[in-house]
């Protein structure tokens, strides 16, 4: 079975339903008031972290997720219903990146955590809301906002609680086998373990559990591609605690120093993780040799535990230390969670550019091209009844400060304003009431 842990998917939020343009009809009434209801919200695509899934494999076969469109509003003030959100379950430890920008969109590290990755569009408003004393029969309504659409790169990093790191042959797999339910391959030659393996460790009382990850051995020069390289460190970059497994008989202090240098070159924050040293294979040396090694290792400032995976020595102390020292998920997340994109909708910055065009009589017409500021989107929403909505829109633009902004860059009475191809006449904003 291939271990798929990087996957690209496409997520498409549903469009909002359109607002309705309708007028009340009743017997004996010539013309009733506007009664168009609002459109419902489009469905969003949401990622949810679930425990107990170890690969993204589950998602295979389906690469595209599209949420439904909100229902349209109707007359008699009937609002369209919202479309349902689509929830995609992914394993705890999944990070989603925007495939185009490379930015992190979601970092799911605790079970049950949710993150919207493609927003459904808001529903359009019906014509009833646009009625005012001066506009009693608005002949326009909004269309729904388009849903967000993008490609995501999902990356799964095993979120084991504890990661075993060490040189090849140090006895990592032997320790995993001795402490957990896992059955890794163990052999007296380096690079026996070729891909990460997880095991579940139970506390003595059997109430608490933690997961332990065994990864291929690391050697000096791994950051330059020696051995199996550092690729597998990705899997322990999200563990909350490291156990350095060292063979007591082969200069453990030197090995630890080399290991830490490799880890540092991959990701310096790995060295800030909670860690302890399992000084392994103590059955192979005299007691004083182990004591000297332990003293030497003391300078690293980490707890040292003497163990023998083969002879099952010191294992209950090691197990106890794991449960005692493991930082809580919440505490860990405070310092290690990736910075992800916020849920706020970002309005692109307003850009104003003056264009001068000669008309057929040789008169120069000044046109202000407007980009950003959310104005084009605003117009798009009235695409169905642009002419009828023009006066309303002009008022909105004024309230949102467009004309003031134009004035600051030198707009004059008689200039035109072009927003997404639609032309308005610029007028001086003499309204002092809002100062
Ligand atoms: N005497 C003794 N031998 C051990 C002990 N722990 C592991 N070994 C032996 O050391 C050898 C390597 O053990 P592994 O557990 O495969 O080592 P590893 O660190 O997983 O090695 P790689 O997967 O190659 O990185 C095997 O022959 C084990 O039986 C121990 O505590 N005492
Ligand atoms: Mg191994």
Q: Is 273 in the pocket of ligand 1 (CB under 6 A)?
A: no
What average pLDDT does range 69-77 have in this prediction? 96
Q: Is 281 in the pocket of ligand 1 (CB under 6 A)?
A: yes
pLDDT, tens digit, 9 for 90 and up, residues 26-36: 766 667 889 99
For ligand 2, the distance from its centroid to the CA atom of residue 431, given in whole angstroms, is 76
What average pLDDT does range 204-220 have in this prediction? 85
Mutation probe of ligand 1 site: the residue of 165, 174, 286 with most atoms within 8 A of C-beta: 174
Strands ordered across the beta sheet of 197-202: 197-202, 209-214, 162-166, 241-247, 274-280, 304-306
For ligand 1, the distance from its centroid to the CA atom of residue 208, given in whole angstroms, is 27
End-to-end CA distance of the chain: 68
Q: Any idea how long the chain is? A: 435
pLDDT at 434: 43
Q: Is 173 in the pocket of ligand 1 (CB under 6 A)?
A: yes
45-50 vs 114-118, strand pairing mode: antiparallel
Q: Is 306 in the pocket of ligand 1 (CB under 6 A)?
A: no
Q: For residue 282, give the ligand 1 atom closest to its CA.
A: 31
For ligand 2, the distance from its centroid to the CA atom of residue 373, given in whole angstroms, is 57
Sign of CA dihedral 102, 104, 109, 112: negative
Q: What are phi and psi of 185, to 5 degrees?
A: -75, 135
Mutation probe of ligand 1 site: the residue of 169, 227, 232, 312 with most atoms within 8 A of C-beta: 169
What average pLDDT does range 375-388 have in this prediction? 91
The torsion region of residue 282 among left (phi > 0), alpha (psi -120 to 50) and beta comes to alpha
Report the distance separating Cα 324 and Cα 327, nearest Å. Answer: 8
pLDDT, tens digit, 9 for 90 and up, residues 128-169: 999 988 888 999 999 999 999 999 999 887 668 899 999 999
pLDDT, tens digit, 9 for 90 and up, residues 308-355: 999 999 999 999 999 999 998 778 877 777 888 887 777 889 999 999
Of residues 46, 43, 53, the one with CA closest to residue 5: 53
Q: For residue 307, give the ligand 1 atom closest to its CA.
A: 31
pLDDT, tens digit, 9 for 90 and up, residues 244-259: 999 999 999 999 999 9
Of residues 6, 116, 75, the one with CA closest to residue 340: 116
Confidence class for position 423, pLDDT limits 50, 70, 90: confident
Kindly tell me if the per-residue pLDDT of 231 is higher than 80: no
Report the distance separating Cα 96 and Cα 262, nearest Å. Answer: 27
- Binding-site residue positions: 166-173, 191-195, 214-217, 280-283, 308-310
Report the distance separating Cα 237 and Cα 196, nearest Å. Answer: 13
Kindly tell me if the per-residue pLDDT of 435 is higher than 50: no
Distance set, CA 313 to CA 15, 144, 173, 221 (Å) = 62, 67, 16, 32
For ligand 2, the distance from its centroid to the CA atom of residue 250, given in whole angstroms, is 17
**Which domains does the chain carry?**
6-156 (2.70.210.12), 162-336 (3.40.50.300), 351-425 (3.30.300.350)
Q: Is 314 in the pocket of ligand 1 (CB under 6 A)?
A: no
Q: For residue 280, give the ligand 1 atom closest to its CA.
A: 31
| Mean of pLDDT over the chain | 89
Mutation probe of ligand 1 site: the residue of 173, 214, 236, 315 with most atoms within 8 A of C-beta: 173
- Give 72 or 269, the one with higher predicted confidence: 72
pLDDT at 222: 81
pLDDT at 116: 96
Kindly tell me if the per-residue pLDDT of 192 is higher than 70: yes
Identify the DSSP state of 171: S
For ligand 1, the distance from its centroid to the CA atom of residue 316, given in whole angstroms, is 19
Residue with CA at minimum distance from ligand 1 atom 7: 171
Report the distance separating Cα 147 and Cα 16, nearest Å. Answer: 7
What average pLDDT does range 356-372 have in this prediction? 89
Q: Is 308 in the pocket of ligand 1 (CB under 6 A)?
A: yes
Q: Is 171 in the pocket of ligand 1 (CB under 6 A)?
A: yes
Is residue 16 within 8 A of residue 144, CB to CB? The reply is yes
């Amino acid at each position: 079975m291939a271990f798929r842990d990087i996957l690209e998917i496409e997520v498409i939020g549903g469009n909002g339903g359109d607002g309705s343009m309708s007028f009340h009809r009743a017997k004996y009434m010539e013309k009733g008031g506007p009664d168009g209801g609002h459109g419902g919200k489009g469905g969003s695509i949401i990622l949810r972290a679930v425990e107990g899934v170890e690969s993204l494999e589950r998602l295979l076969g389906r690469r595209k997720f599209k949420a439904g469109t909100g229902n349209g509003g109707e007359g008699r003030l009937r609002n369209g219903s919202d479309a349902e959100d689509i929830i995609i379950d992914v394993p705890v430890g999944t990070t989603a990146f925007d495939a185009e920008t490379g930015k992190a969109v979601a970092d799911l590290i605790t079970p049950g955590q949710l993150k919207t990755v493609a927003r459904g569009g808001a529903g359009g408003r019906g014509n009833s809301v646009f009625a005012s004393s001066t506009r009693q029969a608005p002949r326009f309504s909004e269309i729904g906002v388009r849903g967000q659409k993008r490609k995501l790169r999902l990356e799964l990093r095993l979120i084991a609680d504890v990661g075993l790191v060490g040189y090849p042959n140090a006895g990592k797999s032997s320790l995993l086998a001795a402490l957990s339910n896992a059955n890794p391959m163990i052999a007296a030659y380096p690079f026996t373990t070729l891909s990460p393996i997880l095991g579940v460790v139970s506390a003595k009382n059997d109430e608490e559990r933690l997961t332990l990850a065994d990864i291929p051995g690391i050697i000096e020069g791994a950051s330059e591609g020696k051995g199996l390289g550092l690729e597998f460190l990705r899997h322990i970059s999200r563990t909350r605690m490291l156990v350095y497994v060292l063979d007591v008989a082969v200069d453990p202090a030197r090995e630890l120093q080399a290991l830490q240098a490799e880890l540092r070159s991959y990701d310096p924050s790995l060295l800030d993780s909670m860690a302890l040293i399992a000084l392994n294979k103590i059955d192979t040396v005299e007691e004083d040799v182990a004591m000297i090694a332990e003293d030497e290792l003391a300078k690293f400032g980490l707890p040292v535990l003497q163990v023998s995976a083969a002879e099952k020595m010191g294992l209950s102390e090691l197990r106890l230390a794991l449960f005692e020292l493991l930082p809580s998920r919440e505490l860990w997340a405070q310092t290690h969670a990736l910075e992800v994109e916020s849920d706020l909708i970002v309005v692109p910055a307003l850009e104003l550019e003056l264009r001068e065009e000669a008309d057929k009589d040789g008169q120069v017409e000044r046109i202000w091209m407007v980009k950003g500021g959310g104005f084009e989107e605003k117009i798009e929403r009235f695409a169905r009844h642009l002419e009828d909505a023009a006066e309303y829109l002009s008022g909105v633009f004024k309230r949102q400060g467009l004309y003031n902004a134009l004035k600051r860059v030198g707009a004059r009475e008689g200039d035109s304003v072009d927003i997404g191809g639609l032309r308005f006449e610029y007028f001086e904003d003499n309204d002092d009431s809002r100062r």
